Amino acid sequence: MIRFLLPICLLGLLPSAAIADSKAKAKIKPAPPAAGAIKGTVIFEGEAPERSKLERDSDPYCAKTDKLAEDVIVTKGKLKDVLVRIQNGTMGKHATPATPAVFDQKDCMYTPRVVGVLAGQKLAVRNSDGTFHNVHGTVAGKLLWNKPHPKAAGDLSLETTPRAGDVVDVVCDVHPWMKAHAVVQDHPYFAVTRADGSFEIKGLAPGTYTLEAWHPTLGTRSLAVKIGTGAKATVTARLSYKPN
């Protein structure tokens, strides 16, 4: 009889051991995604520079719509078109987005004026105007492309080969007041300030970061920011520029 009892006892133990192992595995959960964020504002100290009316009479289509210079756009002390990012080289490796960043040529202006891209990401340039443009891109004065863009033509798909930290300057040689900038990063943790100077960068793990701000006319600023956990996972930051 004993020779039968031993296997029966062992068989009785197996289900409970399997259940215990299953419960242990159930307790192991993947780490939650980083939930930290930086919410901030870029301000302009002092009197905002006057925005002059652009001379656009060289093209009757463009002349139909009045536009002001966009070198420095300040609304109630807040600065637009500032690219704010976590410092390049500090956020690991990231895949290049398959979707392009987009500039639209609308009312004979580039919209938006500043975009952020990852190294290798394409640019799509759209012509929403009823007139001819050309799209001329350079990095530190070195030519990337110079493409004609007739009215009603499809989007241009343009390669961006620059490295993180570079800026692709885009102009239209037909309409020299048209200017835009694509700022290159090696990670997706960046934002461009809105008309009210606000920005938000999400998905950050706890730690200390160097926050960098870039403006096409006013240059760069930096600020150290520390993200904690819980209530301290979302922090506020304020960067400021003064008149040159």
**So where are the chain's domains?**
36-241
Whole-prediction pTM = 0.84
Burial of 137 (0-12, 13-18, 19+ CB in 10 A): buried
For residues 116 and 192, the answer to whether their CB atoms sit within 8 Å is yes
Is residue 120 within 8 A of residue 105, CB to CB? The reply is: no
Q: Give the integer Cα–Cα distance in Å for 110 and 125.
A: 9
Tokens of 17: 């051991």
- Predicted confidence at residue 8, as pLDDT, reads 29
52: Cβ contacts below 8 Å, ≥ 6 apart: 68, 69
- DSSP assignment string, 90-158: SS---PPPSSPEEEEEETTEEESSEEEEETT--EEEEE-SSS-EEEEEEETTEEEEEEEE-TTPPPEEE
pLDDT at 21: 46
How far is Cα 69 from Cα 81, in angstroms, rounded to an integer?
A: 13
Distance CA 72, CA 51 (A): 8
User: Exposed/middle/buried for 198, CB within 10 Å: 0-12, 13-18, 19+?
Assistant: middle
- CB atoms < 10 A from the CB of 218, how many? 19
Cβ atoms of 180 and 117 closer than 8 Å: no
pLDDT below 50 — which residues of the chain? 1-29, 31
pLDDT at 10: 30
- pLDDT, residue 34, reads 74
**pLDDT of res. 32:** 52
Look at the alpha carbons of 106, 114, 196, 36 in this order and tell me if their dihedral is positive or negative.
positive
What is the DSSP code (8-state) at residue 53?
Answer: B
| CATH classification for the domain delimited by 36-241, as one of 1.20.1050.10, 3.40.50.20, 3.40.50.300, 2.60.40.420 | 2.60.40.420
Residue 44 vs residues 74, 81, 217, 220, 227: alpha-carbon distances, Å? 7, 12, 13, 13, 25
